């Protein structure tokens, strides 16, 4: 069977479990061939199907996330290694970096803190944006921190990024010009797609109190972590902007909502 025929057959099978069946098939095939999707489409459609392809398709048919199968996900035009035990970076989270860039303007941050760093995507994206900055990424998961450290090495940012175990900002005595955080915010009563619910770490997804519990822990720490002119960017779940803004107001903090490209409230920009 040629690559072309295998793609056609796999797309039909994957249509049962994926809304992007053809794209999934093409990315899996390129991975099996050890090349890019673009190069495959231009040069390899008439080549023999690689033996590994069927096994990759079988994994995707179980709803395993494509990013876990491929072992990587792009974020802020950077390639991040991901796998079981670490949250997959989403394009919506780029809203936090965009909000920070606009808020800081011509005042580049010297120190950046990423709470719940996971793969390190937010911190490393920020460090790529501000080449003079240094940063700390904190997470409760050693598995996630291992991914973050490896991503920092691959991206040439390890000399400016420190990753350590911790519970949000507890015990941190330094002050930061920018704080980034994508906390768990899914209500445990909500039903997620099996691609997410059955594979990604629950500790990075769900939070008690209708998804607000971790915000109640994080926001009170911000005043002692931010510099006088610093900003914090917190990712929001659907319908949470007003609730989190009120938590900020109770702590004497000001906040403003920033929307993602789809127009959804995605980031709360917080300052003194």
Would you state the pLDDT for residue 221?
97
Would you state the pLDDT for residue 267?
98
> Contacts by 26-33 with C-beta closer than 8 Å and gap 24+?
27/66, 27/70, 28/53, 28/56, 28/57, 28/60, 28/66, 28/69, 28/70, 29/3, 29/53, 31/56, 31/69, 31/70, 32/56, 33/3
Residue spans per domain, the chain: 3-62, 73-271
Alpha-carbon gap, residue 108 to 154, rounded angstroms: 24
Would you state the pLDDT for residue 12?
97
Mean pLDDT in the chain?
A: 97
φ, ψ dihedrals at 198, nearest 5°: -90, -5
Q: For the chain, what percent of residues have pLDDT higher than 90?
A: 100
Q: How crowded is residue 173: how many other Cβ atoms within 10 Å of its Cβ?
A: 7
Q: Would you say domain 3-62 falls under CATH 3.10.450?
A: no
Q: pLDDT digits over 205-254, tens only? A: 999 999 999 999 999 999 999 999 999 999 999 999 999 999 999 999 99
Would you state the pLDDT for residue 258?
97
* Mean pLDDT value of segment 60-89: 97
Q: pLDDT digits over 117-175, tens only? A: 999 999 999 999 999 999 999 999 999 999 999 999 999 999 999 999 999 999 999 99
Class of domain 73-271: alpha beta
Copy the structure tokens of residue 219.
Answer: 């926001």
Would you state the pLDDT for residue 111?
98
């Amino acid at each position: 069977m040629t690559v072309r025929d295998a793609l056609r057959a796999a797309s039909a099978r994957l249509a049962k479990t994926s809304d992007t069946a053809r794209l999934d098939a093409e990315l899996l095939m390129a991975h099996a061939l050890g090349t890019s999707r673009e190069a495959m489409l231009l040069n390899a459609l008439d080549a023999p199907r690689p033996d590994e392809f069927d096994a990759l398709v079988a994994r995707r048919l179980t709803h395993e996330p494509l990013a876990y199968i491929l072992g990587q996900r792009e974020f802020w035009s950077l390639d991040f290694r991901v796998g079981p035990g670490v949250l997959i970076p989403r394009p919506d989270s780029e809203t936090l970096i965009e909000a920070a860039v606009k808020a800081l303007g011509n005042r580049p941050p010297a120190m950046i803190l990423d709470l719940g760093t996971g793969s390190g995507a937010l911190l490393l994206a920020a460090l790529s944006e501000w080449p003079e900055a240094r940063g700390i990424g904190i997470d409760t998961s050693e598995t996630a921190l291992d991914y973050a450290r490896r991503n920092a090495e691959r991206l040439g940012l390890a000399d400016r990024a420190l990753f350590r175990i911790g519970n949000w900002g507890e015990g941190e005595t330094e002050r930061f010009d920018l704080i980034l955080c994508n906390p768990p915010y899914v209500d445990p009563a909500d039903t997620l797609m099996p691609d997410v619910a059955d594979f990604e770490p629950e500790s990075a997804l769900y939070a008690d109190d209708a998804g607000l519990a971790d915000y109640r822990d994080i926001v009170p720490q911000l005043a002692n972590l931010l510099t006088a002119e610093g900003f914090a960017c917190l990712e929001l779940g659907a319908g949470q902007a007003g609730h989190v803004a009120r938590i900020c107001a109770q702590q004497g903090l000001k906040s403003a909502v920033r929307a993602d490209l789809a127009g959804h409230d995605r980031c709360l920009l917080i300052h003194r």
